[in-house]
Structure 1
Amino acid sequence: MIINNKILNVDDYYYGVFMTISESLTGFTLNELQSTGLAEIYYSYILNHIELATFIEFLNISKNSIENSQTQEELTHVISAKILSAPSTQGIAQSVITLWYLGTWEGVYVNDLSYKEGLVWNVMHAHPPGAKQPGFKSWNLKPVNSNS
């Protein structure tokens, strides 16, 4: 598989690795992750909140996993076997998933936007209460996947 380089205006090879592994860890496309407006913020936040060597190790293992995988299925297997199962990378991988889905790092919201743009709202076909309104007369529409 190919690592996405030169994403947006960030000229950092590891940022491309971070976005590519985030895509596989979350199940959301690169465009969906970028549309949150938080990609660069999350990358910088992690860089400033964990030891650099730990993050670089995670990114190097991720890079090798991506480059050695021919298909998405193979990459998914490698992520499960090498990243989510290894004690050295398991915690950070889980934290990255939580960061994208809930907007929190170690239980703390990264910023106001991270709550609003959490991927969990897309998965639930909902909106974040108190942050994004569902729209005029939305109460009149049946929920997605409604059996009623």
Structure 2
Amino acid sequence: MNNHVVSSNTFLTISTYLTGYSEVELLGTGMLETYFNVFLEKFSPETLHYFFAEVDEILLESAGDEDQINAAIAARLIPDSAYDGIAKNIILVWYTGNWGSDVISTQSYQQGLMWDTAEAHPPGAKQPGYGSWANLPIRIPTK
């Protein structure tokens, strides 16, 4: 194993590609360090080392070409057999705030990306405000 350093910066970078949210949006949740620490706890240092080394290699090889980066991520990080499912777990943690069926924290529940994606709010938290019921919901066009 070489001296690759597992860092929250690389975790943030790969999280942007896996979630479709920008670094600023992910940082705005306040959950980066919490989620990064969950991964440090749940996966072996060796597995994390190899996963993040692969992430760095993908980013280096792709030289900023978004299509190439996304194709490499799909081929090398997303398959169930790849790195004990770290990539899929990154997606699930950011979107749900859960690890498996366990809520990581009250804040992770409230900051789950699923709420913003659905343009909703988490029940019991982050209420939309007085009078919001007067606004029509977003309508999804039908064919």
Counterpart of 1:89 in structure 2 is: 83
1:72 corresponds to 2:66: yes
Deviation string 1:47-106 (CA, Å, 9 cap, x unpaired) is: 122211111211111111111113111100100011112613261111110000000112
- Deviation of 1:42 (Å): 0.7
Give the percent of matched residue pairs that are identical in Structure 1 and Structure 2. 33
User: 19, 36, 40: which one pairs with 1:26?
Assistant: 19
| Most deviating of 85-94 and 47-56 | 85-94
- Alpha-carbon distance between aligned partners in 2 of 1:140 and 1:146, rounded to the nearest angstrom: 18
Please, which runs of 5 or more residues in structure 2 have no aligned partner? none
Aligned alpha-carbon RMSD (Å): 1.6
What's the secondary structure of 1:68's corresponding residue? helix
> How many equivalent pairs are there?
136
Query: 2:79, 2:85 within 8 Å by CA — same for their partners in 1?
Result: no
- Alpha-carbon distance between aligned partners in 1 of 2:110 and 2:136, rounded to the nearest angstrom: 22
1:61 corresponds to 2:44: no
1:129 corresponds to 2:128: no
Query: 2:58, 2:73 within 8 Å by CA — same for their partners in 1?
Result: yes
The TM-score normalised by the length of structure 2 is: 0.88
1:112 corresponds to 2:111: no
What's the secondary structure of 2:121's corresponding residue? coil
The TM-score normalised by the length of structure 1 is: 0.85
Q: Point out 4+ residue stretches in structure 1 off by more than 6 angstroms.
A: none
Please, which runs of 5 or more residues in structure 1 have no aligned partner? 1-11
Return closer, same or farther for 1:49/1:86 CA change in 2, 3 Å cut-off: closer
